Amino acid sequence: MQYRTLGRTGVQVSSLVLGAMNFGAIGRTTQDEATAIVDAALEAGVNLIDTADRYGDGESEVIVGKAIAGRRDDIVLATKAGMPMGGRNHQGSSRRWLVTELDASLRRLGVDHVDLYQIHRWDPETGDEETLSALTDLRRAGKIRYFGSSTFPAYRIVQAQWAARENHLGRYVTEQPSYSILQRGIETHVLPVTEQYGLGVLAWSPLASGWLSGAVRAGREIDTHRATLMPERFDTAIPANRARLDAVERLAKVAAEAGLTMIQLALGFVTAHPGVTSAILGPRTLDHLRAQLAAADTVLSADVLDAIDEIVPPGLDLAPDEKHDTPPALLDPSLRRR
């Protein structure tokens, strides 16, 4: 396992992170199965576990808490808040909600603090000063060690850094964006900004929701858990999905010629970028984890990286409609009309 410094925090984290989104009903992963996954990940050298209140409406946090009981000090523990969790004010990044929901997350996890608390999505209804002030106070109270953002557009990352400086508040020290061979848009704006401000980057969906797991190939029935949950993302009648399938076929040849699995190619690509700290794994089963851990020490040669660039050019998203950092006014016509 490789280890990198998480931004400028001085904290050493593994290049592969265990993501717990699939723990519980959403991934049909039981407590015993999840505990076995955590055990295997820690044994392999993974030292950061990432979850969120939204995952299973808290179920993932409960499962993670039970799985890490008795070994909390060996783990860099991260969770997130901000996605809807119920009523009108049970979401977003207001002080009212963050203070309340962090306490709920700590109860579910069975811990007295988390190492990294992340704002799950940018909240356009709440000012940066409000959010950063609340997070700074939670850090001073000892309930969190650091705080970060997730899936923020580049200009919001910059704005939050300025707001922290101007108001003498703590700042985001990490960003968690979506990044894979098939979704390279963050190379255009987000990664240059995170590198400029020294943020650690924890990349989610490095296997592109299963497209890069090796399970999706031309002429083969698509049989992945994500295809069941989100069939439109795998419908090859959609142009973006046809483009992805074409790219996957070409990438499979690159992987084979390099003596790598598709998973090794995909994870090796993400962790090769100097602006990326770690890639977040999202296994549902122990077999999934083992296949992903095989990429722990994968280092792609320049020839392989050049071949990938020829198939999916730098900065290109093959499925731009699936980005989660689009400015609200592009999605809601009422926000761009007087």
Q: Which residues are catalytic?
A: 55
SS3 58: helix
Q: How many angstroms separate the most distant Cα atoms in the chain?
A: 57
18 phi and psi angles, rounded to 5 deg: -90, 110
* Neighbouring C-beta atoms of residue 330, cutoff 10 Å: 9
In a 3-state reduction of DSSP, which class is residue 178?
A: strand
CB 201 within 8 A of CB 173: no
Measured CA to CA, the distance from residue 205 to residue 212 in angstroms comes to 10
**Any idea how long the chain is?**
338
Element (H or E) spanning 116, and its range?
strand 114-119
Please give the Cα distance from 198 to 172 (Å, whole number).
Answer: 10
Q: Which two tokens stand for residue 67?
A: 């799985």
CA-to-CA distance for 284 and 296, rounded, in angstroms? 18
| CB proximity list for 327: less than 8 A, separation 6 or greater | 153
Phi, psi at residue 207, to the nearest 5°? Answer: -100, 10
Residue 243: is it exposed, middle or buried by C-beta count within 10 angstroms (0-12/13-18/19+)? middle
Structure tokens at 186: 């963050």
CA gap 109, 115 in Å, rounded: 12
Q: How far apart are the first and last CA of the chain?
A: 54
